[in-house]
Amino acid sequence: MSAPGISLAAGRARSVLPGFRLSLGFTLVYLASLVLIPLVALLLRPFELPLPELWDAITAPRVLSALRLSFGMALAAALIDAVFGLIIAWVLVRYRFPGKALLDAVIDLPFALPTAVAGIALSTLYAPNGWLGSALMEYGIRVAYTPWGVLVAMVFIALPFTVRTIQPVLAELGRDSEEAAATLGATRLQIIGRVVLPALLPAILTGVALAFARAAGEYGSIIFIAGNLPNISEIAPLLIVINLEQYDYAGAAAVGVVMLGASFIMLLALNALQSWAAKRR
Amino acid sequence: MSLVIDTVTKQYGRFAALAGASLTAPQGAFVALLGPSGSGKTTLLRILGGLEMPDSGTVRFADLNWLDMPSRDRKAGFVFQHYALFKHMSVAKNIAFGLEVRPREERPAKADIKRRVEELLELVQLQDLGSRYPSQLSGGQRQRVALARALAIEPRMLLLDEPFGALDAKVRKELREWLRHIHDKAGVTSVFVTHDQEEAFAMADLVAVMNKGRIEQVGTPDVVRRDPGTAFVSDFLGN
Amino acid sequence: MPRKFQNPTEDSLTLKLTLGSIAIAFVGLFLVLPLIVVFHEAFKGGLAHAWTTITDPDTLAAIKLSLIAAVIAVPLNTVFGVAAAWCIAKFDFWGKTFLVTLIDLPFSVSPVVVGLVYVLVFGMQGWLGLTLAGYDIQILFALPGIVLATIFVTFPFVARELIPLMVDQGRDEEEAAVSLGASGFQTFLRVTLPNIKWGLLYGILLCNARALGEFGAVSVLSGHIRGETNTMPLHVQLLYDNYDYTGAFVVAAILTLLGLLTLAIKSFLEWRYADELAASHRH
């Protein structure tokens, strides 16, 4: 979608359709009052603190370790989901097998399942006496109530983002260019590496960015399985909640601003990715 | 050193795309596969390119058992109807692809590849467009890039699927003569698929008229036009 | 004549089996197993216990509150989605791309940050907190806060479904209707709406699922008053934290059933009305 540089008035004059002012007006008012103004409140709030104090609030060891955990594990989860999301999308688009429609539908479970439900289910599954937890314990691996629990929950909630961004692009790719590569002498491996994956790259990166943004901000599914030990398995969103419960609004806002900043950066990155992908179409 | 296609069949479910097609063409010939849609001409072309396998029949080319070779070993330059250019690669990278994917011992040096690409760009009259991307080219330009890419591998055989199908009439006429010229210069055996008889007669040494998975008649344009071998050919040519 | 032929775009059987197994194993382990756990745990205590949990006044209050929040948030966001898609798809104006980006914004904001944002505006130390308290209006730790949080997190669903769909459809049909003398409202009702109805339903469905399931943002704003400001997901947490695991899973199972129902309808829409949904769902 491009936004031609025409003025509002010109756009209005060009169209005979009614309702432009009304629909745009409502859109802007609704968007501004429910989303934008509250967000601005968050952006301004931390600066009621003197700057050194704000800096101290953000760089406190507990805050830093929570941010590191949230963003680090989110990145790891996004990359894991990129690899498996690519495989799942490939299987769904390229292969024919019984039960394919079911596999396709199941991918959206994390969208449809409330995060709290996912949280208690994963926690029960990976607890030392749970189905998977007890099996893993035999190998000395603890997942629940450790940082690995954070990773598991993030992998769960972010998977649909990678699958659902790669899948339609792969379906549209067609086999023409692969056939062309084969007639030009490329091996199957070269076809995948030089033709298919580069063509999918914008979609893969978009999926990773979406998965990362979702995982970094995730709260509901993680707090049940993480154990929430300060400095070890305490995620940044939980720190906001704890600060709020202690009426430390400025402290909560400081963490919130960092997270919101990350959201904005991801949004910009996604937009850049989109225009890059559009250019190559 | 000729191309010999012998009673090739190909079945898709209950539909017989090829029902015993046979054709012999001398080395260096420019062969047109002419016929209505569904007559099996594209299927035959894809079999020559190694993109499909026939159910039965043989294909020999230059004393090679053509069907035993995988697509990538045949050196059959294939020009697709919709070009199938690699959208994420520049024009130069597209053309160089076939050389860059060769095994290390057969791969030309980087400088040689670069020179070869430049020669080809000149051949297809796109000298200054090497760094463009396919999306920035017109239909006719894309067509020429696809051809240059196929020629880069020094093909034994050139296969063209409706090469002008997606172009407008004016560009089509210009490209015809030019393609024939390139074929003569490269000295390859070329097979091209078309449903346009004027195009087939204007360009080809041999015209093979196809119907329902069979080749009804093969001959020089003059012979086929003067003396249609079957009722179908006569009907299709509108005599 | 049998020949070993490898179609150049077809994976070998070994690779197919390998990738297929990886995909199914990963999905089974990470997505399906948690689902099974929910129902397994919920029925551990038997049907009688499940029934007691469901008919507990606090559970019923939670169900009621979740439904009220959804009933307010979903229609508002639907109206917004239609209005936004209308002006974006049918008109050209400066800053359109930016507006589309802003509409997507709530998707990338952490739910907890959403809660935080409203606390900063409506809390006692917030911009409007004291003013509103003067009029005896309570937003936080009450229904309005829960509704606001739900609106924010479900904000883009309908708009995001409709925008690509309506951009795709262009404005020819509407222009034809207007030229034939239809009023704006008639044009929308008789031309636009029939074209987008399945996409609209799809968006509403996803919006509703998220509204019922939202946890993080609501958690910050609700105050967790049992039987009063607890939504279903919050009630799950409350039961779980009070070591009533079976009870927690019973409520979780209700939410899961709603989620599965959503998925089923969604899959049906994708299969049956693929042409009338946004391009990204046509696979």
pTM of the full predicted structure?
Answer: 0.88
Distance CA C157, CA C278 (A): 13
Query: Average per-residue pLDDT in chain C?
Result: 88
How close B76 gets to chain A, by Cα (Å)? Answer: 6
Three-class SS state of B157: strand
Over 50: is that where the pLDDT of A276 sits? yes
Interface touch C8/A35, C-beta < 8 Å: no
Q: Pick B135's closest partner by Cβ from A184, A187, A281.
A: A281
Q: What is the mean pLDDT of residues C227-237?
A: 89
Q: Identify the H or E element spanning B44.
A: helix B41-49
Interface touch C110/A30, C-beta < 8 Å: no
Chain A within 8 Å of B142 (Cβ-Cβ)? no
pLDDT score recorded for residue C131: 75
Q: Pick A177's closest partner by Cβ from B49, B74, B84.
A: B84
The angle formed by the CA atoms of residues B2, B4 and B10, to the nearest 5 degrees, is: 150
pLDDT over 70 percentage in chain B: 99
Distance CA A1, CA C100 (A): 10
Q: What is the pLDDT of residues C242-271, one digit of tens each?
A: 999 999 999 999 999 999 999 999 889 888
Q: Please list every residue in chain B whose beta carbon sits closer than 8 Å to the beta carbon of residue C1.
A: 56
pLDDT score recorded for residue A75: 97
Over 50: is that where the pLDDT of A2 sits? no
Residue of higher predicted confidence among C226 and B204: B204
Interface touch B71/C5, C-beta < 8 Å: no
Over 60: is that where the pLDDT of A208 sits? yes
Q: What is the pLDDT of residues C98-113, one digit of tens each?
A: 899 889 888 889 999 9
Q: Where are the domains of chain A?
A: 51-280
Q: What is the mean pLDDT of residues A18-44?
A: 88
Q: What is the pLDDT of residues A224-255, one digit of tens each?
A: 999 898 989 999 999 999 998 888 888 888 89
Q: Pick A39's closest partner by Cβ from C117, C125, C271.
A: C117
Sheet holding B56-61, edge to edge: B15-25, B3-12, B56-61, B64-65
Over 50: is that where the pLDDT of B171 sits? yes
Chain B within 8 Å of C7 (Cβ-Cβ)? yes
Interface touch A199/B149, C-beta < 8 Å: no
Distance CA A161, CA A167 (A): 10
Does residue B156 contact residue B64 with C-beta atoms inside 8 Å? no
Distance CA B45, CA B115 (A): 31
- Bridge partners of B192? B32, B160
Nearest CA in chain A to C247: A120
Distance CA B157, CA B28 (A): 9
Chain A within 8 Å of C14 (Cβ-Cβ)? no
pLDDT-derived band at C226 (thresholds 50, 70, 90) equals: confident
Closest by alpha carbon to A222, among A131, A129, A133, A126?
A126
Chains within contact range of chain B (3+ C-beta pairs < 8 Å)? A, C
Does residue B191 contact residue B160 with C-beta atoms inside 8 Å? yes
First to last CA, chain B: 35
Number of Cβ pairs closer than 8 Å across A and C? 334
Tell which CATH architecture fits domain A51-280: Orthogonal Bundle (1.10)
Interface touch B88/A279, C-beta < 8 Å: no
Q: What is the pLDDT of residues B13-48, one digit of tens each?
A: 889 999 999 999 999 999 999 999 889 999 999 999
Q: Pick C266's closest partner by Cβ from A19, A108, A152.
A: A108
Q: Please list every residue in chain C whose beta carbon sits closer than 8 Å to the beta carbon of residue A167.
A: 283
Q: What value of ipTM does the predicted structure carry?
A: 0.89
Q: What is the pLDDT of residues A44-66, one digit of tens each?
A: 776 666 777 788 888 899 999 99
Nearest CA in chain B to C1: B56
The angle formed by the CA atoms of residues B54, B58 and B62, to the nearest 5 degrees, is: 125
Does residue B195 contact residue B219 with C-beta atoms inside 8 Å? no
Neighbouring residues of B24: CB distance < 8 A, sequence distance ≥ 6: B2, B3, B4, B5, B218
Distance CA B57, CA B64 (A): 15
Distance CA B172, CA B177 (A): 9
Identify the residue among B11, B12, B71, B74 best suited for mutation to test binding to C, counting C beta carbons within 10 A and taking the highest.
Answer: B71
How close A268 gets to chain C, by Cα (Å)? Answer: 9
Over 60: is that where the pLDDT of C45 sits? yes
> What sign does the dihedral C7-C12-C16-C22 (CA atoms) show?
negative
Nearest CA in chain A to C256: A113
Q: What is the mean pLDDT of residues A106-119?
A: 92
Nearest CA in chain B to C3: B68
Q: What is the pLDDT of residues C7-18, one digit of tens each?
A: 778 888 899 999
Query: How far is C-alpha A112 from the geometric centre of its chain's CA atoms?
Result: 16
Over 90: is that where the pLDDT of C124 sits? no
Interface touch B135/A198, C-beta < 8 Å: no
